[in-house]
A and B are shown apart, each in its own frame.
Chain A
Amino acid sequence: LQVTFPQQASILNLSLCRATPSIQHPMWSTASINERQYRDMPTHGIGRWRHLLPKQASKKKKVRNQVKDLVSATDTAYGTLNVKVSGYDMTVVEHYSQYIHNLCNRLNIKVAESYALPTKSTEVLLMQEQGNKTFVDAVLKTHQRVVQLSSLNASLCPVFMDVILKNQPEGVQLSVQEHTEADYLLRFKARPELDGLIAQIYQ
């Protein structure tokens, strides 16, 4: 008797459910995925997981060309240094600057920026063999790439310099200097109209 009773109860329950699709059990009804469950449901919010992730910074559009502050030198580290690589062959210059950048990453030296300065074209004029006129013989383009290091540890400096020098390819000039405001302003193009207008104002 006791065995049969729960069966009957369950059958009754089931029939109740099927007969009355109530608001209290919307999950048994044909609920689409977009309908949210009612908040009284014990399983309300059972699939929530985004609140468990760590907080991310808001996705604002990053300002591309931020002016980074100059790091000043301390007793144990150099300040902002510019490693400038220049040469006539662009592939070699670029590969070498990439090599320096990768070396810094590997040695945990913070690289502030890595940019290119405008290319300088040099025209080689040769004297003609017959006559006094010069003619354009060749156009040489000097490419420059800069890797800006934010701080270089003094104890790491000799090792870093040694490795760079020993791997310097042929035809490439290397220069390590401190970063100044003048170096930063070199990157900008001259604006002749603006300069002309300013000159007009002040004249």
Chain B
Amino acid sequence: MAAPCRKMASRSFSRLLCYFSSTAVGSGACRRFSVTPIDRATPLGSTAADRATSPWSLMAAVCLQRLPVISADCSPIEQRFKQMLQQMELEKSLVSDHELRLLEDAEKMSRRQAADYDSDEEDRGDQEIMMTQDLEDTWEQRLKNFHPAPRVRGQWRRGLVKVRKSLGVKSTRTSPVSLPYSCLADVDEDLSSAQRCLADSLVLLAEQQVGAEKLWLLPQAAWQEGETLRQTAERALDSVTAAGVKATFLGNAPCGVYKYKLPKAARTEGSVGRKVFFFKAILADGAPGSAPTAPLLWVKKSELQEYLKPAYMTKVDRFILNL
């Protein structure tokens, strides 16, 4: 398929100023992004003469990823190794200034309490108002007052809920009890929420009409005259998701391709099949304003197999990194 590729290569580049920050979990579930495209020159038009008509029609799809928000839990081996390393560091380390002051204060106290203490002999430097131990106590107090955000984001849902043992409440009754306030819904199970599984990276899937049937696949759209494939991918994303969703595309070059032939009944002289080019994008921080137009799913790489067709899955599998 020479023509569109040539077109893509001859387009001048848009250079991006990207700023990604992985700071503490704030209000949104995603990392904060800001992108400023510096140079977007007008695309050169290609003449119709140098494009041979080809039986393959083009489509562009977007692989929108939500990066992990919190660090994943360590496996048992990792935990043991971490503990061992921490112990080694502690044993090799030297005493810090604060700890030296603690020791000095402890010595002073013991000397004062001794029977033959002569306060005039003591070298009266600047007596510190705050003893080092008091400093430590105030720090500990502040640490206790600090409550980190819960690891599993959730939405409080109302309704009839069974009193579960996991909440720490023992129930004598077996029948469901309606509580005045509700329990945390299990957000990890809710596939359509972007807040699920904060420790893994998720991919967006949309249910789209392909031919005669509805399939779950990465949001795609057909390529039209006069636009780049990346613009097609952006259009595909806009059509499927809500208006407020902001995504940063990682580059003008596609990361994967999948081609399929139409079923024999639908094949004509002009169209034999379709080629789908995939573009990677990262979900930026933004609360979706309105509801999405099509049913959406946020799935992990391990769950992709249940939703995608096998041939499609092998091609998509290659560029989705499970790091």
Instruction: Tell me which of A75, A78, A175 contacts B12 (CB under 8 A).
Output: A75
Chain B residues with CB under 8 A of A178: 15, 17, 38
B10 lies within 8 A of A75 (CB): yes
Say if the beta carbon of A161 comes within 8 Å of chain B. Answer: yes
Does B90 sit within 8 A of A, measured CB to CB?
A: no
Question: How would residues 12 to 28 of chain B score, 1 for a CB under 8 Å from any chain A CB and 0 otherwise?
Answer: 11011111111110000
A151-187, CB < 8 A from B:
154-155, 157-159, 161-163, 165-178
Could you tell me if A157 and B22 are in contact, using CB atoms closer than 8 angstroms?
no
A162 near B280: Cβ-Cβ < 8 Å: yes
CA distance in complex: A73, B13 (Å) = 8
A165 to chain B, nearest CB (A): 6
A173 and B34 alpha carbons, distance in the complex (Å): 12
Cβ 8 A contact of A157, one of B24, B71, B201, B253: B253
- Residues 75-91 of A contacting B (Cβ, < 8 Å): 75-76, 78-79
List chain B residues, Cβ under 8 A from A161: 18, 250-251
Q: Are B13 and A154 in contact (CB under 8 A)?
A: yes
Q: Which of B10, B15, B23, B38 contacts A171 (CB 8 A)?
A: B23
Say what secondary structure dominates the interface of chain A: mixed
* B255 contacts the other chain (CB 8 A): yes
Q: Are B201 and A166 in contact (CB under 8 A)?
A: yes
Closest chain A CB from B49 CB (angstroms): 22
Interface band, chain B: 20 to 34
Which chain A residues border B18 with CB–CB below 8 Å? 161, 175-177
Residues of A within 8 A of B38 (CB): 178
A-facing mask of B69-113, CB < 8 A → 1, else 0? 011000000000000000000000000000000000000000000
Q: Which residues of B contact A173 (CB under 8 A)?
A: 19-23
Q: How far is the CA of A111 from the CA of B215 in the complex (A)?
A: 44
Q: Are B323's CB and A163's CB within 8 A?
A: yes
Known interface pairs A158-B255, A162-B250; A170-B280 also in contact (CB < 8 Å): no
Chain B residues within 8 Å of A171, by CB = 22-24
A136: shortest Cβ distance to chain B, in Å?
A: 13
Tally A residues with Cβ within 8 Å of B: 27
Q: Say whether B252 faces chain A, with CB atoms less than 8 Å apart.
A: yes
Q: Please, which residue of chain A has its CB at the minimum distance from the CB of B22?
A: A168
Bound Cα distance from A174 to B70, whole angstroms: 16
Query: Is the CB–CB distance between B15 and A167 below 8 Å?
Result: no
Q: Which residues of A contact B68 (CB under 8 A)?
A: 166
Q: Is the CB of B61 closer than 8 A to any CB of chain A?
A: no
Check: B149 CB closer than 8 A to any chain A CB: no
B282, CB-defined interface residue at 8 Å: yes
Asked if A158 meets B280 with Cβ closer than 8 Å, knowing A171-B23, A172-B22, the reply is: yes
Task: Give the Cβ gap from A152 to chain B, nearest Cβ, in Å.
Answer: 9
Contact B15 A157, beta carbon cutoff 8 Å:
no
A residues in contact with B19, CB < 8 Å? 173-176
Contact yes or no, A75 B250, CB < 8 A: no
Q: Is the Cβ of A73 less than 8 Å from the Cβ of B20?
A: no
User: What chain B residues lie within 8 Å of A155 (beta carbons)?
Assistant: 251, 253
A86 CB → nearest B CB, Å: 9
A155 to B13, CA, bound (A): 12
What 3 A-B pairs come out closest when comparing CB atoms? A158-B250, A166-B323, A158-B251
Besides the contacts A73-B13, A157-B250, A161-B18, what 18 more A-B pairs have beta carbons closer than 8 Å? A73-B15, A75-B9, A75-B10, A154-B13, A154-B252, A161-B250, A161-B251, A165-B67, A165-B282, A166-B323, A170-B70, A170-B71, A171-B22, A173-B22, A175-B20, A176-B17, A176-B18, A177-B18
- Name B's A-contacting residues (CB within 8 A): 9-13, 15-24, 38, 65, 67-68, 70-71, 201, 250-253, 255, 279-280, 282, 321, 323
Residues of A that sit less than 8 Å from B by CB: 73, 75-76, 78-79, 154-155, 157-159, 161-163, 165-178
22 A-B pairs within 8 Å (CB atoms) are namely A73-B13, A75-B9, A157-B253, A158-B251, A159-B255, A161-B18, A162-B65, A163-B321, A163-B323, A167-B323, A168-B20, A168-B22, A170-B22, A170-B71, A173-B19, A173-B21, A174-B19, A175-B20, A176-B18, A176-B19, A177-B18, A178-B38
